[in-house]
Amino acid sequence: MLVIEEKYKPIAEILLSSGTCLRCVLRFCCVGSPATYRLPHKELAEELGKFLAIDGDISPPSKKVRLEDGEGGMGEAQIPGDADDNSAAEAPQICNLCLGILQQHCSTEFVKKIFHKVQSAGYEFQDFVFPVSLPAQLLVREHSAWLQAQQEMRKQNRQFEKADIIQLKEAYKWIIHPMISEELGVQAVSKSLFEVGVVFCHHDTDEDCHFLATVCKDCFKPTKNKQSIYTRMAVVKALDKIKDDDFCNHFPWPPSSPQIACQVIDIQCNHGSVFVAGRYNKYSRTLPQTPWVIDGERKMESSVEELITEQLMAVFKADSFNFSSSGREDVDVRTLGRGRPFAIELVNPHKVQLSVQDMKDLQQKINNSDKIKVRDLQIVSREALAHMKEGEEEKTKCYSAIIWTERPIGKKDLEFLNDLKELKLIQKTPLRVLHRRPLASRSRIIHTMKTEYVDEHHFRLYLKTQAGTYIKEFAHGDFGRTVPNIGSIMKTTADILELDVESVDVDWPPALED
Ligand code: ZN
């Protein structure tokens, strides 16, 4: 049983007589029950016929029916048919408000088309979201119908706001979500990471919007990346501004009935990013963290990033990735200990569900390289990534270095270094990074140092420092740009021959059992 409030009768009549489809009539009569929109066309036509007290059986499509003479003297009106009724030879009249969206694009054929598209795209998903892009002129047509409806309601001394109308997108979802859901075998969920997006266009009526640009010039500014200035946003803004009279002069009621329905220009599948985190060790002094390319020429054959992501990309079947880490080491610096936390965003992955064992296998594959090792490899949430960067500046880092001194040294010359605690440095931006970082002075702390004598020109230095300390510069002084430095403290010229990161004190990602 169809429930429409009596007060909306004039709206239904005026829309039906102008070439609006039954479902759009429901929308403008503020029918908020999704089930009503899913009724087969024939049933809906009968119910609406009863409501409007139209004599006889109304059967679609495009059958001329006699409407009772209302206030406006309606005369003959057409009840446009839906595509559901393929049995009829006569093509259904395309709705002048939804341009066929609630007619042809709710059909089982269309849903099958979506299903095949999803299937051939080869995604793994547990639910879906169905974003729909509609042509902007639908807004103009909707506005036109709303003004008519509003006029009718005013005759009854009633308000009728645009927000009272059931949105086309809403009604469309009510009809099509259950159908897609059944085909795909999963639920529609508004926050789903798996998107099946449909883009509609209707070239025949594209010009509907154009008069708005002459009336509301400043709403339509050319924007980058947009093919047309008539974006939905601009049209909404213009419709909000334009005076009713101006609108009706430029866009008289009723809107034209199109010959063909909206066309689907694209059905696109996309899966939200998956994030994988872990910690890596780097054992090579000729391996940069990220690809090292200068003027299009590779300087090193591989990188930590590539060694890890090659395997991930293959398993997750993603389109692209973004690599990030808790700090970075120079190409000639090894990262030892428990390694450096990293995270990789896999963009548009086709595979998203990996078992604990799958992840272990993946980790093993990466670890077949002798240059790096990863541990604690796991899928994490986007939000959890923040932990990796959290307090990056306040954390401590531990290093070990081989230091060379010009002046011959004995074991006794090193002892005082072991006693220096919380040594404050001022470091000007190092010469070697000046080309990519602004010149600045900053202070850093060397918390503790420990030494191991090697020979009269070499010793090993263990350092615990504030994160972000330039260790190489602390060793050689960077032409006096870091003060104090090992050279100045030991009253000689010093240099650093080897550097290893011993630990990065970030407790993320969580350690996993081996
Ligand atoms: Zn319609």
Q: How far is the CA of 118 from the centre of ligand 1 (A)?
A: 26
What is the structure's pLDDT at 58?
A: 45
What is the structure's pLDDT at 166?
A: 97
Rounded Cα distance, 171 and 173, in Å: 5
Q: How far is the CA of 135 from the centre of ligand 1 (A)?
A: 14
What is the structure's pLDDT at 505?
A: 82
Which residue is it, tokens 């230091």?
A: 403
What is the structure's pLDDT at 391?
A: 65
Asked if 136 and 230 touch (Cβ cutoff 8 Å), the reply is: yes
Nearest to 14 by CA among 95, 81, 72, 94: 72
Q: How far is the CA of 38 from the centre of ligand 1 (A)?
A: 13
Nearest to 131 by CA among 183, 95, 186, 177: 177
Q: How far is the CA of 30 from the centre of ligand 1 (A)?
A: 14
Q: How far is the CA of 102 from the centre of ligand 1 (A)?
A: 5
Q: Which amino acid is at 356?
A: V
Of 127, 330, 495, 505, catalytic: 330
What is the structure's pLDDT at 241?
A: 93
What is the structure's pLDDT at 113?
A: 95
Q: Which amino acid is at 2?
A: L
What is the structure's pLDDT at 327?
A: 87
CATH of domain 273-389: 3.30.70.2510
Nearest to 374 by CA among 468, 291, 276, 287: 276
- Burial category of 303 from C-beta neighbours within 10 Å (exposed 0-12, middle 13-18, buried 19 and up): buried
Q: How far is the CA of 274 from the centre of ligand 1 (A)?
A: 39
The tokens of 373 are what? 């090792």
396-504 has the same fold as 273-389? yes
The pairing of strands 494-504 and 482-483 is unpaired
Nearest to 343 by CA among 386, 293, 311, 396: 386
Domain ranges of the chain: 6-270, 273-389, 396-504
pLDDT tens digits in sequence order for the chain, 514 residues long: 678 999 999 999 999 999 999 999 999 999 999 999 999 989 999 999 888 887 554 444 443 333 333 333 333 344 444 444 444 445 569 999 999 999 999 999 999 999 999 999 999 999 999 999 999 999 999 999 999 999 999 999 999 999 999 999 999 999 999 999 999 999 999 999 999 999 999 999 999 999 999 988 888 887 777 778 899 999 999 999 999 999 999 999 999 999 999 999 989 999 999 999 999 999 999 999 999 888 888 888 899 999 999 999 999 999 999 999 988 899 999 999 999 999 999 999 999 999 999 999 999 999 999 999 999 999 999 999 988 877 666 788 899 999 999 999 999 999 999 999 999 999 999 999 999 899 999 999 999 999 999 999 999 999 999 988 999 999 999 999 999 999 999 999 999 999 999 998 888 999 998 7
Q: How far is the CA of 211 from the centre of ligand 1 (A)?
A: 23
Rounded Cα distance, 31 and 47, in Å: 13
Rounded Cα distance, 461 and 471, in Å: 11
Mark whether 206 is an active-site residue: no
Q: How far is the CA of 23 from the centre of ligand 1 (A)?
A: 6
If you classify domain 396-504 with CATH, what class do you get? alpha beta
What is the structure's pLDDT at 90?
A: 52
